[in-house]
Chains A and B, each alone.
Chain A
Amino acid sequence: DGGITQSPKYLFRKEGQNVTLSCEQNLNHDAMYWYRQDPGQGLRLIYYSQIVNDFQKGDIAEGYSVSREKKESFPLTVTSAQKNPTAFYLCASSIAASRGDSPLHFGNGTRLTVT
């Protein structure tokens, strides 16, 4: 079954700890994205990567870090510097880095709770 897999579905961490969310895709897509979804806020872009070994900050990158060592993987680390990390995190990918009309394919999301 091709698609985007995010794991785990639920994640609990203590304040002050870094935590890494996994995102893997087998769609052979060039571009990958991380969004944060909060009630009443819609989706906000954290980081994106158009090609392996390259990534750019989105609108709310502070307190987050990413890597793109492989085409199929785009893990997101929520660091202790993120002031309000409890949220629902969505990973997405799109087929062509050069085309803005390529639709995004989303994973099922990871709900992170930090206490």
Chain B
Amino acid sequence: AQRVTQPEKLLSVFKGAPVELKCNYSYSGSPELFWYVQYSRQRLQLLLRHISRESIKGFTADLNKGETSFHLKKPFAQEEDSAMYYCALGRGGADGLTFGKGTHLIIQP
């Protein structure tokens, strides 16, 4: 069975410090990994996906199949990055994503 683990419920860092939100997955097939973000009073939205290999709002994430990880990183945190972040795993079809429990990121001024 597929599983997504986000070990940190809450992560607090100071503005300007590097950020790393951890995500590990368990899946026997070829995974598709995503990061979704929910800012205060906004709907859940896609932040980035591994197939795009893009940087969004300064965030990047690299799929490491050896370590089954997809950690989200940003070199310099900004206050507007404060939000709830969810890592999600897709299984190659449109049968929904498996989400982690989320990490609440707080950027302190």
Contacts and interface: CB of A to CB of B under 8 A. Distances in A.
Decide if A and B are genuine partners.
yes
A104 B44 CA distance: 9
A100 B91 contact: yes
A101 interface: yes
A102 B86 contact: no
Nearest to A51: B94
A50 B95 contact: yes
A103 B49 contact: yes
B95 A40 contact: no
Contacts of A104: 36, 46, 97
Interface residues of B, number: 25
Given A40-B9, A42-B102, A30 B94 contact: yes
Interface stretch (A13-21, A70-78, A90-98): A90-98
Dominant secondary structure at the A interface: loop
Contact of A101 (B43, B90, B101, B102): B90
Interface-central residue, B32, B93, B95, by most chain A CB under 10 Å: B95
A98 to B, nearest CB: 7
Contacts of A109: 43
Closest 4 CB pairs of A and B: A42-B101, A43-B99, A100-B90, A103-B46
Interface of B: 6, 9, 32, 34, 36, 43-46, 49, 51, 86, 90-102
